[in-house]
């Protein structure tokens, strides 16, 4: 039985669609229409991760023509059609039209091999036409190709971009998929738009999500040397560190964008990370490629205005995190050590920006604490893989069998952080900053409680994928933090 339309507008649209003769074929674009991504950009990013130098050399083929660039990438990259973010609502519509007897034609500017791979995966298309060395099927070229293949005003066309306007003008009718409002107005003037499939994602929210603004809380570590040295009353230093915090955060967001662009394939296989904007297709890859260097430029300009040495620290942080994104995160144990170093980097940068001498006790405490939390992150990832019956997380070197050892290494490192805090309280140097250091001893027990709780929840599989997010949402963490702050003030 045919499903009844949900409202009057749907009813009218349904009648219009059914009035289109079934002999009129439906031609469908690929990028941005059938899939919520751009396969050309995806291919290039895959090659960047596989072989950056080869990706750089392939750019020179653009001078021969875009179709040569597409062919070059298609030859060098093994494309997995099953791992694309498909527009499932639109595909259900296509299946319904196919069942009614309408001929479906996939016609795209993507290379023929990619188009064919997608068609073989979906198994709903009667014909497949993609770009090759002789033609680049976009805009006017696609319009001429379809008119020659089928005839003017003899086909329906589903598209999404301004290049599709030319095709819509020669079509019997159009279907607009993920089309921006201004472009949709032009599309309706070009032809009769029979159906609209609009994106349900909030673009601004997707940008903030991709920037991972919540992760900026990690950069508060920049203020740690100022707090440890009891110089929070020096407003000029606080303001300087405020700008340092912003510079670090912008550069970190730039890296997050780059990391997500390079991790598209692995993220889409992950139960939670597949919801990230680039992996889900709610944010375009082109936007990420352009916005990432803009964030980096803003961050570096602020950093170098603070001081040359701080600017170089930020530049070093960016280079180190890029190395992590490209390769280091795939190396067993090296990934955890790198994460720990990057946390220390924030503390060192804060000391450098304010010219405060950094205590080795502070560095030791931070190192072991964040080494522990980095392992908690890996443990929670493995717990999630175990829950979904997968052998290992994508892009990582750990397997399920490593879980017990990771838990031991992580919890042991957390306890070592508490031990360093206890030794510091008992050291002679603490007398320089605290009049009543014995009041700090309860902090050790608070930290013992907190780190033990983290690992107890991790062992139960109840830890958030990111321990920092866990701490932000966990009431007990706020209680421990407030208790520590009160005791530190009383001990001064």
User: Which residue(s) pair with 156 in the sheet?
Assistant: 26, 173
- Concatenating the DSSP letter of every residue in 192-217 gives -EEEEE---S-HHHHHHHHHTGGGGG
* Averaged pLDDT in 10-residue chunks for the chain of 492 residues: 42 51 92 92 88 87 86 85 91 92 94 93 94 89 93 93 92 91 90 86 87 88 87 89 93 91 84 86 90 95 92 91 82 88 90 85 90 89 76 67 87 93 85 82 92 89 76 86 87 82
> What's the token pair of residue 271?
């139960």
Q: Among 96, 65, 103, 37, which residue's Cα sits nearest to residue 288?
A: 37
pLDDT computed for residue 416 by the predictor: 94
* Helices and strands (H and E) in the chain: how many: 22, 6
Task: Give CA angle at 386 (383, 387), nearest 5°.
Answer: 90
Q: Are 441 and 421 within 8 A, CB to CB?
A: no
Q: What are the φ/ψ torsions at residue 137 (nearest 5 degrees)?
A: -80, 75
Q: Quick check: helix, strand or coil at residue 159?
A: strand
Cα 296 to chain centroid, rounded: 16
pLDDT computed for residue 217 by the predictor: 86
pLDDT computed for residue 14 by the predictor: 47
What domains, with CATH codes, occur in the chain? 13-197 (3.40.50.1000), 203-491 (1.10.600)
What are the angstrom distances between the C-alpha of 82 and each of 98, 114, 119, 229? 21, 12, 11, 55
Half-sphere exposure in the Cβ direction for 330 (13 Å, CA): 13
Q: Among 220, 232, 490, which residue's Cα sits nearest to residue 356?
A: 232
Contacts for 283 with CB less than 8 Å, ≥ 6 apart:
201, 203, 206, 207, 210, 277
pLDDT computed for residue 387 by the predictor: 76
Question: Which H helix or E strand runs over 128?
Answer: strand 127-131
Interatomic CA distance for residues 27 and 435, integer angstroms: 79
Residue recorded with tokens 């694309």: 84
What are the angstrom distances between the C-alpha of 34 and each of 107, 118, 178, 298, 424? 11, 10, 10, 35, 60
pLDDT computed for residue 5 by the predictor: 43
Q: What are the φ/ψ torsions at residue 108 (nearest 5 degrees)?
A: -145, 155
Q: Are 254 and 299 within 8 A, CB to CB?
A: yes
- Concatenating the DSSP letter of every residue in 44-80 gives HHHHHHH-HHHHHHHGGGGGG-HHHHHHHHHHH----
Cα 302 to chain centroid, rounded: 24
Interatomic CA distance for residues 105 and 27, integer angstroms: 5
> What's the token pair of residue 91?
């595909």
């Amino acid at each position: 039985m045919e499903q009844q339309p949900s409202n009057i507008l749907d009813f009218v649209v349904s009648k219009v669609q059914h009035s289109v003769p079934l002999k009129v074929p439906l031609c469908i674009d690929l990028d941005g229409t059938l899939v919520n991504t751009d396969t050309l950009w995806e291919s290039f990013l895959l090659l960047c991760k596989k072989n950056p130098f080869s990706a750089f050399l392939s750019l020179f083929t653009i001078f021969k023509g875009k179709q040569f660039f597409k062919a070059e990438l298609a030859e060098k990259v093994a494309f997995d059609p099953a791992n694309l973010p498909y527009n499932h609502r639109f595909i259900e519509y296509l299946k319904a039209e196919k069942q009614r007897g309408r001929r479906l034609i996939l016609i795209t500017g993507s290379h023929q091999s990619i188009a064919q791979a997608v068609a073989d995966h979906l198994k709903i298309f009667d014909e497949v036409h993609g770009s090759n060395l002789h033609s680049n099927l976009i805009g006017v070229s696609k319009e001429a190709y379809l008119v020659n293949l089928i005839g003017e005003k003899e086909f329906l066309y589903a598209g999404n971009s301004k290049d599709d306007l030319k095709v819509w003008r020669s079509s019997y009718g159009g279907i607009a998929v993920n089309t921006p409002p201004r472009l949709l107005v032009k599309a309706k003037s070009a032809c009769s738009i029979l159906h609209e499939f609009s994106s349900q994602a909030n673009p601004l929210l997707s940008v903030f999500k991709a920037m991972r603004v919540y992760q900026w809380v990690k950069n508060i570590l920049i203020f740690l040397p100022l707090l440890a040295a009891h110089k929070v009353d020096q407003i000029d230093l606080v303001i300087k560190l405020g700008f340092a915090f912003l510079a670090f955060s912008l550069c970190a967001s730039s890296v997050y964008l780059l990391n997500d662009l390079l991790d598209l394939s692995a993220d889409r296989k992950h139960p939670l990370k597949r919801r990230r904007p680039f992996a889900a297709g709610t944010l375009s890859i082109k936007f990420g490629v352009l916005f990432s260097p803009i964030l980096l430029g803003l961050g570096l300009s602020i950093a170098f205005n603070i001081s040359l040495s701080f600017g170089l620290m930020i530049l070093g942080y960016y280079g180190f995190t890029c190395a992590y994104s490209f390769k280091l995160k795939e190396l067993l144990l090296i990934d955890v050590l790198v994460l720990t170093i990057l946390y220390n980097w924030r503390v060192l940068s804060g000391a450098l920006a304010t010219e405060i001498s950094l205590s080795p006790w502070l560095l030791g405490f931070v190192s072991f604490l964040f080494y522990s939390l980095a392992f908690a992150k890996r443990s929670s990832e493995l717990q999630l893989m175990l829950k979904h019956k997968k052998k290992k997380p994508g892009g990582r070197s750990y397997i399920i069998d490593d879980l017990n050892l990771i838990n031991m290494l992580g919890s042991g490192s957390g306890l070592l952080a508490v031990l360093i805090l206890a030794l510091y309280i008992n050291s002679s140097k603490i007398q320089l900053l605290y009049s009543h250091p014995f009041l700090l001893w309860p902090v050790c027990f608070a930290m013992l409680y907190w780190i033990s709780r983290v690992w107890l929840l991790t062992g139960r599989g109840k830890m958030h994928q990111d321990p920092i997010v866990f701490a932000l949402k966990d009431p007990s963490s706020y209680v421990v933090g407030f208790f520590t702050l009160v005791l530190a003030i009383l001990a001064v």
